[in-house]
Amino acid sequence: MKAKAMNTGDSLQKKNNLTGWAFISLAAIGIVAFYFYPMLQALLLSFKSGVGANLEFTGLDNYKRLFIDTTFRTAVSNTFLYLIIQVPVMIILGLFISVLLNDSTLRFRSFFRTAIFLPCVTSLVAYSVVFKYLFSSDGMVNQFLMNLHMIAEPIQWITDPFWAKITIIIAVTWRWTGYNMIFYLSSLQNIDQSIYEAARIDGANAFTQFFKITVPLLKPIILFTSITSTIGTLQIFDEIMNITKGGPGNATMSISQYIYNLSFKYSPDFGYAATVSYSIVLMIIVLSIIQFKVAGERNG
């Protein structure tokens, strides 16, 4: 009887295993077919050169070309400028807003939360077009600033290299700050309020509570949002393509737009475009490791 029961248990376990594999098999096949296989093909493609479909294996020539490509250096410089300015601003602003909206005494909290998160679910193309018109030379932003006598003449937000970068940073920050805010807000609601009550009894003010309680407890979420924001910024494309088209000149071109230009705008060079794509992968890996190391040292 005991052996029979063991056989029955083993067969039931095998059946459960087969059922589990049946459920995940389609997803696994899809991931391999639509993620890993294209990634492998792109890696192999990065070792080839040629125009259009006429590609020949050229080894590391494409990777050597990266170091002498002035347009690539410009695209990297622009992208890292967005990264250095926009990501910290977006994280700090999202954290600050989440703390304000976590206040139980604040009226209309649900409305404010929805309003700030709403840009995240708007169409990338639609909001980029709206920003393009808002920041045009005769747009509402210039009209507003001139009515307040803050400027004497319209700012060339789209056609001036400096102000075009500022416009892109404003647009990206407006859209994605609410995304980070939701993560911080959900984490804040899981913090035991008795910790803050004890701190207030000990005489800690709001400033001290924020830096001594809130920030340390949110470090894992801050690390997560900093990594996802870094990845998103290194891949920035839609805003630049729809607002400035990389101009004036190449003043706002990102790495992703350069990949697009190499593939579809210039004479198609898919091999070199794949090489530039893998440069983004390398940057993401390096920056993620640095962020993990910094977060680990601070936690230690």
What average pLDDT score do residues 143-171 get? Answer: 92
The CATH number linked to 114 is 1.10.3720.10
> Does 54 map to a domain?
no
**pLDDT tens across 213-223, in order?**
888 889 999 99
What average pLDDT score do residues 102-128 get? Answer: 88
Q: Give residue 154's pLDDT.
A: 92
Same domain for 31 and 68: no
> Does 56 map to a domain?
no
Most confident of 101-105, 213-217, 257-261: 257-261
Q: Give residue 19's pLDDT.
A: 77
Same domain for 174 and 28: no
Same domain for 149 and 36: no
Q: Give residue 235's pLDDT.
A: 92
Which ranges in the chain belong to alpha helices (H)? 2-31, 37-45, 61-66, 70-101, 109-117, 124-134, 140-147, 161-188, 193-201, 206-209, 215-217, 219-234, 238-243, 255-260, 270-299
Mean of pLDDT over the chain: 88
Same domain for 79 and 226: yes
Same domain for 10 and 65: no
Give burial (CB, 10 Å; 0-12/13-18/19+) of 233. Answer: buried
Q: Which residue has the higher pLDDT, 27 or 164?
A: 164
Q: Give residue 2's pLDDT.
A: 47
> Does 50 map to a domain?
no
Q: Give residue 107's pLDDT.
A: 87
Q: Is the pLDDT of residue 255 over 90?
A: yes
Q: Is the pLDDT of residue 272 over 70?
A: yes
Same domain for 76 and 35: no
Same domain for 197 and 134: yes
Range of the domain at 264: 61-299
Lowest model confidence (mean pLDDT) among 20-24, 139-143, 146-150, 151-155: 20-24
**pLDDT tens across 201-244, in order?**
888 888 888 888 888 889 999 999 999 999 999 999 989 999 99
Q: What is the pTM of this model?
A: 0.86
Whether the CB-CB separation of 163 and 156 falls below 8 Å is answered with yes
> Does 51 map to a domain?
no
Q: Give residue 81's pLDDT.
A: 95
Q: Give residue 12's pLDDT.
A: 64
Same domain for 98 and 14: no
> Does 245 map to a domain?
yes
**pLDDT tens across 44-86, in order?**
999 998 876 678 888 899 999 999 999 999 999 999 999 999 9
Q: Give residue 61's pLDDT.
A: 92
**pLDDT tens across 6-31, in order?**
555 566 677 767 777 888 888 889 88
Same domain for 184 and 41: no
> Does 125 map to a domain?
yes
Same domain for 25 and 113: no
Q: Give residue 17's pLDDT.
A: 73
Q: Give residue 55's pLDDT.
A: 82
Distances (CA, A) of 236 to 113, 246, 282: 25, 11, 16
DSSP state of 132: H
Q: Is the pLDDT of residue 43 over 50?
A: yes
Number of structural domains the chain divides into: 2
Same domain for 187 and 283: yes
CB atoms within 10 A of CB 47: 18
> Does 25 map to a domain?
yes
What average pLDDT score do residues 140-161 get? Answer: 92
Report d(CA 200, CA 98) in Å as an integer. 20
> Does 69 map to a domain?
yes
CB atoms within 10 A of CB 276: 26
Q: Give residue 297's pLDDT.
A: 57
Q: Is the pLDDT of residue 166 over 90?
A: yes
Same domain for 111 and 198: yes
